[in-house]
Amino acid sequence: MTAITTQEFSGTGTILNPATGAVAGEVHWTDPADVPTIAEGLRKAQREWEQRGAKGRAKALARFAVWLGEHRDEIEELLIKETGKSAVDAAQEVPLLIMILAYVVKTMEKALAPESRPAALPFLAIKKITVHYRPRPVVGIIAPWNYPVANALMDAIGALAAGCAVLLKPSERTPLTAEVLRRGWLESGAPDVLALAQGARDVSEAVIDNADFVQFTGSSATGRKVMERAARRLTPVSLELGGKDPMIVCDDADIELAAHAAVWGAMFNAGQTCVSVERVYVLEPVYDQFVEAVVRDVKALRVGGDGHFGALIDEGQRAVTERHVADAKAKGARVLTGGQVPDGPGSFYPPTVLVDVDHSMACMTEETFGPTLPIMKVGSVVEAIRLANDSEYGLSASVFSRDVERAKDIALQLDCGAVNINDVISNLMCTTAPMGGWKASGIGARFGGADGMRKYCRVETVVAPRTNLGAGGNYYHNSLKALARMNRMMTKMALARPRRTAK
């Protein structure tokens, strides 16, 4: 079962619920030829949006947060229909956006204010140096299907706060909730600086060609294509790409906590999360205890709309999960739970625990994006670190140990953008810190406090005189003697050593 009935992406398309096959809604696909006109309209509206200043924009964003809270039930109902999520998983997205909005509204004025910079040398103190953050007119956001509400707006919020207009291209698999979000933006009284472009690859390319900055979330393979396309116009990009996040369980870990975390981190949203737990390395002394606890927890899970997690987005994604499990079994892995496609409608896959795995298996090296949990026994922390780093990906990781300092030491040896200690996925909530990947997991970062807004800006330095004294000291109209004197003074001051403080 696929979520889309049309293959042409022209005119109107029908979106199906991947869990039931029922019609979730209709979408009007955007003609790629219309994208330049949409972008030009955004550029015109952006000028007034920028001129409102941070205070004015904060008021609009605050009203939008209220609207989201008031319409949460409507958004989640549609979210479940177009993704096949469970109600438990769908309930996470709107609160995350409201949390981000609350933080941004409180901090954006200070984050975007001009900054004074000191003079490098005393004689340059006659100049006043100010760095200004000027918004890029149109930010193109190409969003994924796994979190069509949160991923669509968690990046848009920073861009809108910065004073940019946003051209959002939702995934063609999940285009419906984006329509509701845009409606809410306008109904909350905000200006028309948030537009949609609905469609597939050709529409994405048009967005890239007409944006001044591109934020993309998706697979590493597609991220490379986005970057290549953007390079034609030297358009800057930020890419949040795939992951194969490792979890290390030390021999002194709280095993119950680690097991609960592994199961939730692997199965949440049917495993369709970029920072989900995709492979676990457990120290030998606690391996059996950990596996037993994980299997117990997984067997208690319920799959379905009223269960812990719902369907995979489509049959294609389920086929990837099936292939990884079959490959592991063929190479000697054992399946302790799940591992077989259930009868009945919908692209469901049962929560699956795999043991006796190694890095010859796709389940340990390729991104699965499904509800599987492969667990590998290791003899030492050194081996666990080596295996965790033996990956083309480097998005995030987790380390479990009762000794937090030991866990921190391990964390700083892992090649990834974020590490959670005695927890999983929690870095996604830390909007004051950057969320970015290493290696094939991305370039740049989302969030990051002030940087999460400033990344959508161009930096402009303004150098103004504090006084006319000394202006033009090195101009051509001065005598050679005066120029030589000026050069000697600059060299002497630049090379001068700081005075030692008397003891």
Tell me what the mean pLDDT of segment 85-104 comes to. 96
Between CA 73 and CA 115 the distance in angstroms is 42
pLDDT-derived band at 497 (thresholds 50, 70, 90) equals: low
pLDDT-derived band at 467 (thresholds 50, 70, 90) equals: confident
pTM: 0.93
Q: Lowest-pLDDT range, 166-180, 281-295, 323-337, 473-487?
A: 473-487
Percent of the chain residues topping a pLDDT of 90: 87
What type of residue sits at position 269?
Answer: N
Tell me what the mean pLDDT of segment 125-142 comes to. 95
Model pLDDT, residue 1 = 43
What type of residue sits at position 403?
Answer: D
Checking if the pLDDT of 126 tops 90, the result is: no
Between CA 318 and CA 43 the distance in angstroms is 41
The single-letter DSSP state of residue 312 is -
Between CA 139 and CA 210 the distance in angstroms is 9
Model pLDDT, residue 503 = 45
Model pLDDT, residue 394 = 98
Model pLDDT, residue 491 = 79
Q: Lowest-pLDDT range, 64-73, 146-155, 479-488?
A: 479-488
Query: What phi and psi values does residue 390 have, to the nearest 5 degrees?
Result: -80, 70
Q: Is 250 considered catalytic here? A: no
Between CA 7 and CA 62 the distance in angstroms is 39
The answer for residues whose C-beta is within 8 angstroms of residue 165's C-beta and 6 or more apart is 42, 43, 45, 46, 49, 137, 138, 139, 193, 194, 195
Q: What is the mean pLDDT of the chain?
A: 94
Checking if the pLDDT of 2 tops 50, the result is: no
Model pLDDT, residue 167 = 98
Between CA 119 and CA 405 the distance in angstroms is 40
Q: Domain 12-242+449-458's class? A: alpha beta
Query: What phi and psi values does residue 14 have, to the nearest 5 degrees?
Result: -110, 130
The single-letter DSSP state of residue 380 is -
pLDDT-derived band at 279 (thresholds 50, 70, 90) equals: very high
CB-based contact 93:79 (threshold 8 Å): yes
CB-based contact 346:21 (threshold 8 Å): yes
pLDDT-derived band at 474 (thresholds 50, 70, 90) equals: low
Kindly name the residue from 274, 363, 416, 457 that is annotated as catalytic: 274
Q: Longest Cα pair distance anywhere in the chain, in angstroms?
A: 92
**Residue bearing the bigger pLDDT, 143 or 480:** 143
Tell me what the mean pLDDT of segment 102-126 comes to. 91
Kindly name the residue from 240, 278, 366, 367 that is annotated as catalytic: 240
Checking if the pLDDT of 370 tops 50, the result is: yes
Q: Domain 245-430's class? A: alpha beta
Checking if the pLDDT of 98 tops 90, the result is: yes
pLDDT-derived band at 498 (thresholds 50, 70, 90) equals: low
Checking if the pLDDT of 113 tops 50, the result is: yes
- Give the pair of three-digit tokens for residue 144: 């994924």
CB-based contact 425:150 (threshold 8 Å): no
Q: Is 416 considered catalytic here? A: no
Percent of the chain residues topping a pLDDT of 70: 96
pLDDT-derived band at 500 (thresholds 50, 70, 90) equals: low
